[in-house]
C-alpha cells in the first residue's frame, strides 16, 4: 500500500510515518496541499493521504475532487474535538490525534487495505483453493504459499489473515528479496539505539510490529542461509532479541511465507534449510497461474479498470466484449500483475467510456488468440518470439537505467526478484547483461 503524507515532518508526523512504514506500507512525503494534489494526480497510485490539519483539509479534499482523484483522506493534528469535527466537516474521512496511537493508525490502514486488497475470483480452480484457505485460516499453523510470480500469493496471504482469528491484529509484509543481507537482520528483529553506526534511535523490527497478528515473509527462498538459521530460531523459540539488546522479546506471530521457486530443489542445492522448510510448510497452498483459471480474467480486468479509473480520477470505463474475449482466450505469458499493468495502461490510453482492443494494442498487450485474431498485427516485433521481445525489452530498459535493477523493475512493472531471475537466465544463455551500477543494493 502507498501512503502520501502531507505536512511538516516534525517529530509527531514522523512518528505517524514510521508506524505506517512499520506496517509494511510505502510512504511518500510532501510539504503542502498543492504538492500533494500534483503528486496524487501525476502518480495515481496512492491509497491513502494523511494530512496535517493546518495544511488545509478543505483545499486538499476539494483539489483532489476537482481532479477526480478519489483517495481517502485522514486528517491529523493535536487531540482536539473541535479540530477533529472541523476536519471531518471539511471532507476528511477521519481524524488521527497526534502523537499517533499505533493501534489507531494500524486500524485506519487496515480499513484502506481491505478495499485495496480485495481478492477477486470466480474460477472453480481458485474456489477449491479458497475453501481450503477458509479451513486452514482459523488455525495458527504456518502456511507456505507457492506459485508463479504475480499469481496473487501476497493477496492470498492477506486473505488468510483476514479470515483468521488474528484479523484485528497487524498484517506485516516483509520482502526477503528487497534488502541486502546486512539490513535484513535489523529490519526483521529491530535494533536498540547505538547497536551499530547509524542506529540513532531504537527501532522495532517486523516481527515485533506483527505481534498479535501475521508476518508475511515474501520470497523466502531469497533469504541467505545464515539468516535462515536466525529466522528458524525466532520461529522455534517464539522470541527475538533486538540487535544490541539484552532482553528477549516474546512473540505471538503467525508466519506465512511465499516462494515462486521450488523449495525442495533449493534444499537439494543447499540454498534452503530443510528444518526451516518443515517449520514453514505446515500447510502448503499453491496459487494456480492465470492461464489455468481463465474465468478469473474478465472479473479481474473489470476490477483493475475500476481501480485505475478511480485512482486516476477518470470516469468509469467498461471493457468491450471483443477485448474481454481476447484477454480471456489469449496466450497469457504473464500472470495477474501483468494483466493489472495492461489494464492500467489501457485505462490511461482509452478515450470515452469503453476500453477497446486498440487500447490494449497501444498498451502493448501482445497475447494472441488462436491463429488470425492476433491483437497486434502491425507491430514491428511481429516475427519474433515473446521470449526474444521480452529479453530485448528488459536488457534495453536495464541499459537505460544504467544497470539499476530496482529502477528497471519499476519501469517494467515486475518484481525485482522476477527481474533478477530473468537476468540470471539471460546471463546463463550468454547474453550481455549490464552490470549493477555502483552503490546498488540488489544483486543479480
Ligand X SMILES: Nc1ncnc2c1ncn2[C@@H]1O[C@H](COP(=O)(O)OP(=O)(O)OP(=O)(O)O)[C@@H](O)[C@H]1O
- What is the nearest approach in angstroms of ligand X to the Cβ of residue 335? 7
Q: How far is the CB of 26 from ligand X (least distance, A)?
A: 13
Smaller CB distance to ligand X: residue 119 or 199? 119
Least distance CB 237 / ligand X (angstroms):
28
Q: What CA–CA distance (Å, rounded) separates 271 from 40?
A: 42
Diameter of the chain measured on Cα atoms: 69
Smallest gap from Cβ 208 to ligand X, in A, equals 24
The end-to-end CA distance of the chain, in Å, is: 26
The residue among 120 and 314 lying less far from ligand X, judged by its C-beta, is 120
Toward ligand X, which CB reaches closer, 295 or 349? 295
With respect to ligand X, which residue has the nearer C-beta, 56 or 147? 147
| Closest to ligand X by CB, 153 or 345 | 153
Q: Which is nearer to ligand X, 256 or 433 (CB)?
A: 256
Shortest distance (Å) from residue 133 CB to ligand X: 12
Nearer to ligand X, 88 or 119 (CB): 119
- Give the footprint of ligand X on this chain (CB under 6 A): 119-121, 147, 149-155, 218, 258, 260, 300, 303, 336-337, 340, 415, 418
* Separation CA 417–CA 125 (nearest Å): 26
User: CA-to-CA distance for 13 and 21, rounded, in angstroms?
Assistant: 12
| DSSP run (H or E) holding 391 | helix 386-400
**Exposed (0-12), middle (13-18) or buried (19+): which is 31, by Cβ within 10 Å?**
middle
- Please list the alpha-helical segments (H only) found in 239-320: 263-268, 274-280, 297-311
Altogether, the residues listed in the chain come to a count of: 444
> Which residue lies nearer to ligand X by CB, 245 or 364?
364
Q: Which residues contact 331 (CB under 8 A, 6 or more apart)?
A: 291, 367, 368, 369, 386
For residues 140 and 155, what is the distance between their CA atoms, to the nearest angstrom? Answer: 18
Residue 89's SS3 state is: helix
Residues 399, 403, 404, 408: what is their CA dihedral angle, to the nearest 10 degrees? 40
* Cα separation, 110 vs 117, whole angstroms: 10
Nearest to ligand X of 96, 217 (CB atom): 217
User: Shortest gap between Cβ of 308 and ligand X (angstroms)?
Assistant: 11
C-alpha cell at 137: 485460516
* Min dist. Cβ of residue 197 to ligand X (A): 32
CB of 186 to ligand X, least distance (A): 23
Which residue in the shown chain puts its C-beta closest to ligand X? 152
Smallest gap, in angstroms, from Cβ of residue 429 to ligand X?
22
Nearer to ligand X, 202 or 294 (CB): 294
148/208 with CB nearer ligand X: 148
Q: Give min distance, CB of 401 to ligand X, in A.
A: 19
Least separation in angstroms between CB 328 and ligand X: 16
Hey, what's the cell of 253? 506471530
Amino acid at each position: 500500500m502507498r501512503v502520501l503524507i502531507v505536512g511538516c515532518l516534525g517529530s509527531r508526523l514522523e512518528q505517524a510515518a514510521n508506524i505506517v512504514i512499520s506496517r509494511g506500507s510505502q510512504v511518500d512525503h510532501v510539504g503542502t496541499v498543492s504538492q500533494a494534489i500534483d503528486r496524487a494526480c501525476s502518480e495515481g497510485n496512492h491509497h491513502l493521504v494523511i494530512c496535517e490539519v493546518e495544511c488545509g483539509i478543505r483545499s486538499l479534499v476539494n483539489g483532489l475532487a476537482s481532479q477526480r482523484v478519489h483517495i481517502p483522506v485522514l486528517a491529523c493534528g493535536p487531540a482536539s474535538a473541535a479540530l477533529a469535527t472541523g476536519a471531518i466537516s471539511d471532507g476528511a474521512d477521519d481524524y488521527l490525534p497526534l502523537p499517533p496511537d499505533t493501534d489507531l493508525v494500524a486500524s485506519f490502514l487496515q480499513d484502506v487495505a481491505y478495499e485495496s486488497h480485495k481478492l477477486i475470483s470466480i474460477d472453480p480452480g481458485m474456489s477449491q483453493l479458497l475453501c481450503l484457505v477458509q479451513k486452514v485460516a482459523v488455525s495458527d499453523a504456518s502456511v507456505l504459499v507457492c506459485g508463479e510470480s504475480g499469481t496473487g500469493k501476497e493477496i492470498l496471504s492477506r486473505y488468510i489473515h483476514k479470515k483468521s482469528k488474528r484479523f484485528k491484529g497487524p498484517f506485516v509484509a516483509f520482502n526477503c528479496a528487497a534488502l541486502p543481507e546486512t539490513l535484513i537482520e535489523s529490519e526483521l528483529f529491530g535494533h536498540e539505539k547505538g547497536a551499530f553506526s547509524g542506529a540513532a534511535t531504537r527501532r522495532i523490527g517486523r516481527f515485533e510490529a506483527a505481534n498479535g497478528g501475521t508476518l508475511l515473509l515474501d520470497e523466502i527462498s531469497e533469504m541467505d542461509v545464515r539468516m535462515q538459521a536466525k529466522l528458524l530460531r525466532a520461529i522455534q523459540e517464539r522470541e527475538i532479541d533486538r540487535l544490541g539488546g539484552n532482553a528477549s522479546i516474546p512473540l505471538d506471530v503467525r508466519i506465512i511465507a511465499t516462494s515462486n521457486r521450488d523449495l525442495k530443489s533449493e534444499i537439494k542445492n543447499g540454498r534452503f534449510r530443510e528444518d526451516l522448510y518443515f517449520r514453514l510448510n505446515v500447510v502448503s497452498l499453491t496459487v494456480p497461474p492465470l492461464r489455468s483459471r481463465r474465468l478469473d480474467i474478465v472479473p479481474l480486468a473489470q476490477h483493475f479498470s475500476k481501480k485505475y479509473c478511480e485512482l486516476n480520477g477518470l470516469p468509469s470505463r467498461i471493457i468491450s466484449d471483443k477485448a474481454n474475449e481476447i484477454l480471456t482466450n489469449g496466450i497469457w505469458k504473464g500472470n495477474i500483475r501483468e494483466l493489472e499493468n495492461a489494464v492500467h495502461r489501457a485505462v490511461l490510453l482509452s478515450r470515452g467510456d469503453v476500453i477497446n482492443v486498440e487500447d490494449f494494442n497501444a498498451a502493448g498487450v501482445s497475447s494472441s488468440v488462436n491463429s488470425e485474431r492476433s491483437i497486434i498485427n502491425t507491430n514491428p516485433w511481429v516475427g519474433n518470439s515473446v521470449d526474444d521481445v521480452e529479453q530485448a525489452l528488459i536488457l534495453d530498459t536495464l541499459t537505460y537505467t544504467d544497470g539499476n535493477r530496482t529502477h528497471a523493475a519499476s519501469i517494467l512493472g515486475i518484481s525485482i526478484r522476477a527481474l533478477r531471475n530473468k537476468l540470471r537466465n539471460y546471463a546463463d544463455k550468454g547474453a550481455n547483461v549490464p552490470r549493477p551500477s555502483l552503490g546498488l543494493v540488489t544483486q543479480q
